[in-house]
Amino acid sequence: MDLESVKNLTQIIFWCGALILAYLTYRNARKTLLSPVNTEYQKRVFDSLTSISERLFSELKIGSDEHWIKQRPMKEVLDEICREWDRDRSSILEHGLELVVWPAAKDWCIFNSLADEVRYEIFLPERLRNKIICYLEYRAESAKFAHDYAVIKYIESINENRSYDQISIDNFIDIENYYIDGMGKMNLSFEQITQRNQEILCEITKYVRSFDPTA
């Protein structure tokens, strides 16, 4: 190899090294400049996941106002039945209790509202968003079924046993148990709800652990 070739090879190596150094410098600078943006995005994602987790799992937290044991999803309907009984006792004793319309299921409204909140939360990954929405919408649908089922079964029981003297806002155990039965028919007993919630929590945890906005 002559002197000219050595000179050319040296220049090639020099410029290749310079290009590599420039690229590495650019990449490092880019990460540094974008770091605040990535950090803010990551924070927004985590805030969204935290908010949804708290709302979704509050019903399982002892001490929470939303804990399942404190809930009375059939309270408004029972109030309406009691008012109907007070208004027309003689007719009910003769012809039986009949409730043509009744208040909508509170849980149906709550879970549909939650589903809408998740649907328009732009900082959630799509796969996780869709899974949570699917679950919340099924919870809403199941709540409506259980609610209507409880009303029908409670009125049937009252009429069959002619236990009209038991109609009272304080005697809520029967109608609430019918609601629980209805949820069970939709494969959403308390144990099943707990399991479904835990599955979503695992998905959220898995996503958080793997989250790397600079990757």
Q: What is the pLDDT along the chain (215 residues), one digit of tens a residue?
A: 554 554 444 445 444 444 444 444 445 544 444 455 456 666 777 777 777 777 777 777 777 777 777 788 999 999 999 999 999 999 999 999 998 888 889 889 989 988 988 888 777 788 888 999 999 999 999 999 999 999 999 999 999 999 999 999 999 999 999 999 999 999 999 889 888 888 888 888 787 777 655 54
Whether 29 is in a domain gets the answer no
For the purposes of burial, counting CB atoms within 10 Å of the CB of 211, is it exposed (0-12), middle (13-18) or buried (19 or more)? middle
CA–CA distance, 43 with 11 (Å, rounded to integer): 47
CA distance 107 to 150: 14
The rounded distance, in Å, linking the Cα atoms of 72 and 68 is 9
Decide if 180 is inside a domain: yes
DSSP 97: -
Domain assignment of residue 171, yes or no: yes
The contacts found for 11-20 with CB under 8 angstroms, 24 or more apart, are none
Residue 52 resides in a domain: yes
Number of domains in the chain: 1
Q: Is residue 162 part of a domain?
A: yes
Residue 149 lies in a domain: yes
- Crossing angle, helix 3-57 and helix 190-210, to 10 degrees? 160
Q: Residue 160: which domain range?
A: 48-210
Whether residue 123 lies inside any domain: the answer is yes
Structural domain includes residue 37: no
